A = this chain, B = another copy of it.
């Protein structure tokens, strides 16, 4: 395995100086070449010959490794934040803080930017005192400490979590100017935990066990009825997200992961799972999280999050900053029923469609990243994306959704989003028919 040998050659400062001088010459050449190329729209270089002059940050040492035992973003990224919509809810303890999708790329949502939605604020649970109980129609009623749970075989899954109300304010037309607000009730992380199936088998399900009622330890005591088939399929009782402990606002120290299903079933601060023979019809599955139809009746138990996509860049919070030429359009797509098999993009409000490029891992019930690279001619555009999932479900237009469901709904709006790109690169949330 020895490839080659060398002896130390001391730094030759005259050579170094020569190279630096050449650099300045090189920059002038670079500038000329870039200016010439720019007229054809092919090169993207900025030819300022002073660009590689020494900057402040080349001239003094920065902070050492003692500065931050737990790291934080650059001060230049302070604008990258979760944001709420103050008029949306009566109080910030029962509200939502949206993921800044237009600032992100790839498929992993960093933990600090995962949207949060809680019903009585963020419970401050001490993990050493926290317990999970399984009771009801089981052979052995069990209570687990956190350390008990960590002795069961573990599983890792990357899954998206989307609130059923994501895009809900758009049912009645374009209202919110930015994908952070129209689509930001979603995040996508790697969870680690124990399959719920394993814990239920440990307790022993009785023959008439058909439904579960997971319950949260926060002041709202969130509960939802979950059918046993889903519990035995792919649910996790999870304590890690993206490698580290769950964040407080995501249910620290324990939450239920219900892949592909609406977010409020992913009970946070999970303290108890009751096993029963029928659903409980609690508040969050009757007066809330049901879909009022045009005829006055309501759909309920609409658990799966249907296939959906949105263009994150450009978008109202992330306008185009160049005058035509090569442009990267980017977005995210997901389906609660499987993988995203294809994403199409339209530049003209849905008249013509072209296939986008899905990049990075394609994982079941995970966010997918897509790109559409095109040469913008500088004219106005009506951008849309349309995702198709591995079950063949095609993301519908908003009008097609309204034709079936009426306009009373809040939840489960997976309609195609339209961004109007102006000639100056600014972007507006619009609807086209």
Contact partners of A302 in chain B: CB under 8 A: 1, 3
Report A404 CB to chain B, min CB distance, Å.
Answer: 7
Q: Mark A154-167, 1 if CB is under 8 A from B, else 0.
A: 11111000000000
Question: Counting CB contacts under 8 A, is A120 at the interface?
Answer: yes
A286 and B6 form a contact (CB under 8 A): yes
Chain-B contact segment, one of A143-151, A170-178, A337-345, A379-387: A143-151
Chain B min CB distance to A160 (Å):
13
Complex contact A143–B71 (CB within 8 A): no
B106 engages A61 (CB within 8 Å) = no
Q: Does A82 contact B (CB under 8 A)?
A: yes
Q: Which of A92, A141, A217, A249 neighbours the largest number of chain B CB atoms within 10 Å of its CB? A: A141
19 contacts between A and B (CB under 8 A): A3-B301, A3-B302, A8-B287, A23-B272, A45-B140, A51-B131, A58-B217, A64-B93, A65-B93, A75-B124, A77-B245, A106-B190, A106-B240, A106-B243, A110-B110, A113-B243, A153-B328, A153-B371, A154-B328
Q: Please tell me the number of chain A residues within 8 Å of chain B, measured between CB atoms.
A: 162
B141 and A29 contact, CB distance less than 8 A = yes
Q: Which of A256-264, A292-300, A346-354, A416-424 binds B?
A: A292-300
Residue in B27, B96, B221, B240 whose beta carbon sits within 8 Å of that of A141 in the complex: B27
Report the minimal beta-carbon distance from A159 to chain B, rounded to whole angstroms.
12
Residues of B within 8 A of A287 (CB): 8
- Proximity string of chain A (21-47) to chain B, C-beta cutoff 8 Å, 1 when within and 0 when not: 001001101110110010000011111
Per-position 1/0 for A287-326, Cβ under 8 A of B: 1001001000111111000000000000000000110011
Determine which of B8, B112, B144, B369 lies in contact with A286 in the assembled complex, contact meaning CB atoms within 8 Å: B8
A125 to chain B, nearest CB (A): 5
A145 vs B45: C-alpha distance in the bound complex, in angstroms?
7
A426 interfacial by beta-carbon distance below 8 Å: no
Bound complex: CA A118 to CA B6 (Å): 25
Smallest beta-carbon distance A185→chain B, Å: 12
CB within 8 A of A143: which of B19, B48, B147, B404?
B48
Contact status A148-B57, CB under 8 Å: no
Residues of B close to A413: CB separation below 8 A: none
Contact, CB under 8 Å: A281 / B76: no
Tell me whether A82 and B62 are in contact (CB under 8 A).
no
Across the interface, A65 reaches (CB within 8 A) one of B51, B72, B92, B242, namely B92
A window 48-105: CB within 8 A of B? 48, 51-52, 55-77, 80-84, 91-97, 103-105
Name the contact of A26 in the complex, choosing from B141, B286, B293 (C-beta under 8 A).
Answer: B141
**C-alpha gap A61/B46 in the complex (Å):** 53
Are B244 and A62 touching (Cβ within 8 A)?
no
Q: Please determine whether B243 and A73 come into contact, CB atoms closer than 8 angstroms.
A: no
A233 CB within 8 Å of chain B: no
Q: Which residue of B lies closest to A19 (CB)?
A: B274
Known: A103-B244, A104-B244, A108-B108. 12 other contacts (CB 8 A): A3-B299, A7-B286, A26-B133, A30-B141, A46-B131, A64-B92, A69-B83, A104-B240, A106-B240, A108-B243, A110-B243, A156-B359
Are the C-beta atoms of A74 and B369 separated by less than 8 Å? no
Residue-wise, chain A 184-205 has the 8 Å CB interface mask toward B (1 for contact) of: 0000011110000000001000
Q: Verify A242–B245 contact, CB threshold 8 A.
A: no
**A252 within 8 Å of B by Cβ?**
yes
State whether the Cβ of A392 lies closer than 8 Å to any Cβ in chain B. no
Instruction: Tell whether A283 is near chain B: CB-to-CB under 8 Å.
Output: yes
Verify B76–A127 contact, CB threshold 8 A.
yes
Is A269's beta carbon under 8 Å from chain B?
A: yes
In the complex with contacts A57-B218, A135-B23, A150-B328 CB distance below 8 A: yes
CB neighbours of A286 from chain B (8 A) = 6-9
Residues of B within 8 A of A48 (CB): 143
Q: Are the CB atoms of B113 and A52 closer together than 8 Å?
A: no
